[in-house]
Amino acid sequence: MTNTTGRRVTANLSLSLDGRYNGPGGPSDFAAFAPYVTSDVARDHMNRIWEGATTALLGRVNAEGFMGYWPSVAEDDNADPRDRGYAKWLVNTEKVVFSTTLTEAPWEHTRVVNAPAADVVAELKTTGEGDILANSSASIIKALLAADLLDRLYLMIFPEITGGGQRLFEDGLPPTKWALTHQETGKLGELAMVYDRVR
Residue 193 lies in a domain: no
Do the beta carbons of residue 191 and residue 184 sit within 8 Å? yes
Residue 130 lies in a domain: yes
At residue 29, the 3 state secondary structure works out as: coil
Nearest C-alpha neighbor of 155 from the set 186, 183, 117, 197: 183
Angle at 27 between CA 25 and CA 32, to 5 degrees: 60
Do the beta carbons of residue 16 and residue 158 sit within 8 Å? yes
**CATH number for the domain including 77?**
3.40.430.10
Q: What is the pLDDT of residue 77?
A: 95
Provide the number of structural domains found in the chain.
1
pTM, full prediction? 0.94
DSSP state letter for 184: E
Q: How far is residue 11's CA from residue 16's CA, in Å, rounded to a whole number?
A: 16
What single string gives the DSSP state of each residue in 97-160?
EE-SS--S-SSTTEEEE-S-HHHHHHHHTTS--SEEEEES-HHHHHHHHHTT--SEEEEEEES-
Residue 109 lies in a domain: yes
If phi over 0 gives left and psi between -120 and 50 gives alpha, with beta otherwise, what is residue 190? Answer: beta
Q: How far is residue 62's CA from residue 17's CA, in Å, rounded to a whole number?
A: 22
Q: What is the pLDDT of residue 6?
A: 86
At how many degrees (to 10) do helices 81-92 and 60-74 cross? 120
Task: Give the residue numbers spanning the domain of 95.
Answer: 9-23+33-170
Nearest C-alpha neighbor of 174 from the set 90, 118, 127: 118
Residue 185 lies in a domain: no
What pLDDT, in 10s, does the model give residues 74-122?
Answer: 999 999 999 999 999 999 999 999 999 998 888 999 999 999 999 999 9
Residue 183 lies in a domain: no
Residue 189 lies in a domain: no
Residue 192 lies in a domain: no
- Give the burial class of 69: count Cβ atoms within 10 A of its Cβ; 0-12 exposed, 13-18 middle, 19 or more buried: exposed
pLDDT per residue of the chain (199 residues) written in tens, 0 to 9: 445 678 999 999 999 999 999 999 998 899 999 999 999 999 999 999 999 999 999 999 999 999 999 999 999 999 999 999 999 999 999 999 999 999 888 899 999 999 999 999 999 999 989 999 999 999 999 999 999 999 999 999 999 999 999 999 999 999 999 999 999 999 999 999 999 999 9
